[in-house]
Amino acid sequence: MKSFHKAAALVSIVAIAGCGANSAGVPITSVNPTSPSYGKLQFAVGTANIYGTATGLNVVSTLRQPAGTSAIGVSTPSITGPFTFAGGIAMAAPANGSLADPYTTLFSNPNNAAAVMGPSLAEVASGNTIGGTPQTIHPGTPDCDYTGTLPPGTNSNAVFTACPSGFTPDASTFGQSGGVFAMGLAPYNAFAEQGQAYSYVPYAQPMYDDGTAHPLFLPWGGPPAFDPDGNGMGTRDGLVPAGGDTFGEPYFLGVGEGVTVFEGLTPGTGSYKLNVAVSTIGNGGAVTTNTISQSAPLNSTATLPAIAAPQVVPDANGDGGASFMIASIPAGVTEELIQIVDWGPGGAPGATNPNAGSTSNCQGAKGPQFAPVYYTIVVKAPGSYTLGANHGPNTNTTGGNAHLTPSPSICTGAQNTAALGSSSLGDSITVQAIGVDYPAYEAANSLTAATVPQAPQIAGSTGQSDITISPPIIETDPGYAPTPLSGRRSARGASMHRTPSSRPLSIPSFLGVPQH
């Protein structure tokens, strides 16, 4: 009997042993990414006056969660509306697998001497859609442009690929890397294999422009207007992460200004729509795709007046600062972003890769030696404006958080000579003005605020968001005379794009001995 009791106790113990069966170890908290209470999509469109010579479509959007940061890490946007592709637009093919995102047509094709960047064949065929490649397309699927025969009149320079049997064209403007984020359309989609975004660099502007007339520019906002840490150095203080993305481009050279201008589109009045497809993977691995949408009107196709870049004059006292004069603000323009880019002595941008071409200067490792330095000044009224003397990158690279040392904003010849140890000119700069009729600066800069709004204002008083972009000028030492900056200055940009398997910049990763 005693044994029986023990046996019963044993059975109890064994039964208890089953209590842990199949228990999940980790609680998962999640949100519904497409719920209106979580992600708020805003969308506005307007006309674009590009260099005073071309018309395009300006697209502004935000998709933020309540805390103000981007709501969706991976999405597939598409824009529809009463626009047309301009006749003769250069339709583009993707870069044939040489990019981390092989489907996007927004990056140059190394097999294409013309480095065409434009809409895909399928998008042009659709007539009024700019889109992306669905995330549901398995990575590794061959990129291709058309089925059947190549449409007549296709840009002969592009290398288009016929889809194999069973495949439909998957090349698109945004590819799988482009999505909608806290400050608009950008190639920031998360790249599953690397635990990062494809890119942390905004699209080079104007989109669909091949850099023939003028080099493309990156809409990085720098100090003094964009200064997240409040130390006057913008993002070049060493406290903001820096590195290279899967396209080989350096980030964060500034704060993205949220500018996405499509050249080669002829906007028409009417309602435009931004669809954002969000594919999530659920229980059992099933993929569900939901779409959130927002419409925006374009009531007028009138463009803002052409705008010119001001001549930026370095301070006569050689302190590294500069000034410029804005004589007038064009009608309709409510604010201008004056972009000053420091390329170092003798530097200048490449045509299709706006980061290429910078040189070492007095600003040290974080200066143009790494990548061009961006400054932004917001102008809302005519007058004289200054770029302070010490908005350059932090040069105290051993001082940690507490000992930051800003450098001259635009190094003079003397400063460069002293820093580089050999006779040197002062820095070359490029200047460009971006005029808008909506609070573009406030919307973009709100990302750096302590409290980030979920729905910043992105449309002007007319209900649309118009933009005018000046031709860039380059000013070089000596004299700093303004000279129009022509495109196609360098063919090097195309080679900068690298596959995600690119090695670290300094030492080959396989230098290490094999693990054993």
Partner 1 sequence: MFKVSCFARFFCWLAMAGMLFSTLGVPLTANAAGGVQGNLRGSVVDASGAPIAGVLVVATSTSGKFQTTTDASGYYSLLQIPTDTYALAFSKQGFETVTLTGVTILGDQTQNAGTVRLSQIKTLAHVTARSVSSAFQPHQTTDETTFTGRRVDQALGETGSTNYNQLVESAPGVIQTAQGSNAAISIRGSASVEIGYQFDGIDFRGAFFDENPSAGFLNGVGGGRGALQVVSGAGDATQGGIGAGVVNLVPGRGSYPGTGFVNFDVGSPWYDHALGFQYGIATPNGRFSDFFSVRADRSAPQIAPYGREAADAGAYFGTSFTYDDDVMNNFVYRFGRNGDQQFQVLTDFIDHRSWTSYGGLAAAAWYPWNPLNYGFAETDGNGAPMWGCIYQNQAPLAPGASPPPCPSFANQLAWYDSILTYVQGVPHPKDPFAPAPAVTQPEQFNLGPDDVLKLGYTRQLSRNATLNTFFYNWGGLNESNITGNYSDLTDGGGGFFVNGYNPEGSRSTGVQTQLVLQAGEKHILTFVGKFENNFPYWNQQNDGNTWQGLSTARSYDEQITGYNGQNPIAGYSPNGPRIEDWFLPLIPGQPVSASNPCVGPALDNNFNPNGVTNMGCYLYSWLLSNGKWTGQLPAMPTAGWNYHNTDFQQFGIGLRDQWTPSAKWNFDYGIRLDGQNLKWGANPFSKDLNNPYDVGVGFAQLPNTFLYPRLLEPRAAANYILDPNDSVRVSYGRSVSDFFGQYAGTPSALENINPIFFQIPAKDSASNPACGSGWHPAGPSPNGQYIPNNNTYFSGALIVNAPGNFFQCPNYASSLYWNFDQGYSAPDVGGQQPSTYNNWDLTYQHQFKNAWGMKFTTYVRRGFNTYQTVELNNGPPNPVTGQQTPGSFQERETGIQKALGLEFMLTTPDRPYGWSGFLTANYINELTNTPPVSGSDNLPIAQQFLYESNVLFHQSFLPPISARAGITYETKSGFRINPILSFDGGEPFGVGRDAIGFVNGVLYHLPTSNIGVATPYAGPGGPNLTQNATCYVDPAFAGSYFHPRDFACRGFAEPALAGQSFTAPRLYSDLDLEYTKGRYTWGVYINNLFNNYRGQPSINSAWQPVANGVGGAQTGEFAGAFPVNLDGTPNLNWIAGGRDLSHYDQSWLPFPESYVPGINYRFYLRISL
**Count of CB atoms within 10 A of residue 136's CB?**
12
Which residue in the set 20, 87, 166, 479 belongs to the binding site for partner 1 (CB under 8 A)?
Answer: 20
Question: Least separation, in Å, of the C-beta of 4 and partner 1?
Answer: 11
Q: Is 457 in the site for partner 1 (CB under 8 A)?
A: no
The pair of structure tokens assigned to 292 is: 């959130």
The answer to whether 380 contacts partner 1 (rule: CB under 8 A) is no
* CA 147 and chain centroid, separation: 31
For the CB of residue 29, give the shortest distance to partner 1 in the complex, in Å.
Answer: 5
Q: Does 18 bind partner 1 (CB under 8 A)?
A: yes
For residues 18 and 20, give the distance between their C-alpha atoms in angstroms, rounded to a whole number.
5
**421 counts as binding partner 1 under rule CB under 8 A:** no
Give the span between the Cα atoms of 194 and 190, in whole angstroms: 8
Map the footprint of partner 1 across residues 288-327, applying CB under 8 A. 289
| CA 98/CA 274 separation, integer angstroms | 29
**Footprint of partner 1 on 90-119 (CB under 8 A):** 97
> Could you give the CA distance from residue 288 to residue 55 in angstroms, rounded to a whole number?
38
Nearer to partner 1, 115 or 144 (CB): 144
Q: Which residue stretch of 283-291, 304-312, 330-338, 455-463 sits at the interface with partner 1 (rule: CB under 8 A)?
A: 283-291
Select the residue interacting with partner 1 from 130, 255, 410, 431 (CB under 8 A).
255
Do 372 and 349 contact (CB within 8 A), yes or no? yes
The strand pairing partners of 296, in sequence order, are 272
6 binds partner 1 (CB under 8 A): yes
Stretch that binds partner 1, among 130-138, 323-331, 410-418, 476-484 (CB under 8 A): 130-138
Rounded Cα distance, 207 and 79, in Å: 14
- Judge contact between 302 and 436, C-beta under 8 A: no
Q: What stretches of 336-484 show up as alpha helix (H) in DSSP?
A: 413-420, 440-445
The amino acid at residue 335 is: E
Residue placing its CB nearer to partner 1 in the complex, 316 or 402: 402
- The minimum distance between CB 118 and partner 1, in angstroms, equals 21
Contact, 357 vs 350, CB < 8 A? yes
Q: Does 279 bind partner 1 (CB under 8 A)?
A: yes
Q: Which is nearer to partner 1, 163 or 425 (CB)?
A: 163
* Interface pick for partner 1 out of 1, 5, 23, 36 (rule CB under 8 A): 23
Among 228, 314, 321, 347, binds partner 1 (CB under 8 A): 228
Q: Give residue for tokens 């637009």.
A: 89
Cβ contacts of residue 14 below 8 Å, gap of 6+?
none
Residue 372 and residue 368: Cα distance in Å, rounded? Answer: 4
Closest separation in Å from C-beta 89 to partner 1: 25
Question: Per CB under 8 A, does 13 bind partner 1?
Answer: yes
For residue 138, the minimal CB distance to partner 1 (Å) is 6
Please identify, using beta-carbon distances, which residue of 479 and 510 lies nearer to partner 1. 510
Interaction residues for partner 1, span 459-478 (CB under 8 A): none
The token duo for 158 is 């592009």
- 380-392 residues labelled b (16+ CB within 10 A) or e (exposed): eeeeebebbbebb
Contact set for partner 1, span 485-514 (CB under 8 A): 496, 498-499, 501-514
Q: Which of residues 165-194 bind partner 1 (CB under 8 A)?
A: 181-183, 186, 188, 190-194
The answer to whether the beta carbons of residues 192 and 239 sit under 8 Å apart is no
The secondary structure of residue 376, as a DSSP letter, is E
> Interface mask (CB under 8 A) for partner 1, residues 44-83, using x and -?
---------------------x---xxxxxxx--------
CB of 9 to partner 1, least distance (A): 10
Q: Of residues 390-409, which lie at the interface with partner 1 (CB under 8 A)? A: 394, 396-401, 403-404
By CB under 8 A, how many residues form the interface with partner 1?
Answer: 120
Stretch that binds partner 1, among 232-240, 324-332, 435-443, 480-488 (CB under 8 A): 232-240
3 state SS for 221-242 = ECCECCCCCCCCCCCCCCCCCC
Q: Give Dmax over CA atoms of the chain in angstroms.
A: 108
422 binds partner 1 (CB under 8 A): no
Under rule CB under 8 A, residue 234 binds partner 1: no
**Residue 15 has what DSSP assignment?**
H
Instruction: Give the whole-angstrom CA distance, residue 247 versus residue 110.
Output: 13
CA dist 173 and 89 (Å) reads 13
Rounded to the nearest 10°, the torsion over CA 142, 147, 153, 156 is 30
Least distance in angstroms from the C-beta of 291 to partner 1: 13
| Token pair in block for residue 20 | 């842990």
When asked if residue 365 is in the footprint of partner 1 (CB under 8 A), the reply is yes
Judged by CB under 8 A, the stretch of 284-292, 309-317, 455-463, 464-472 that binds partner 1 is: 284-292
Please identify, among the stretches 49-57, 120-128, 137-145, 293-301, the one whose residues bind partner 1 according to the rule CB under 8 A. 137-145
Supply the minimum distance, in Å, between the C-beta of residue 164 and partner 1.
6
Q: Is 197 a residue that touches partner 1 (CB under 8 A)?
A: yes
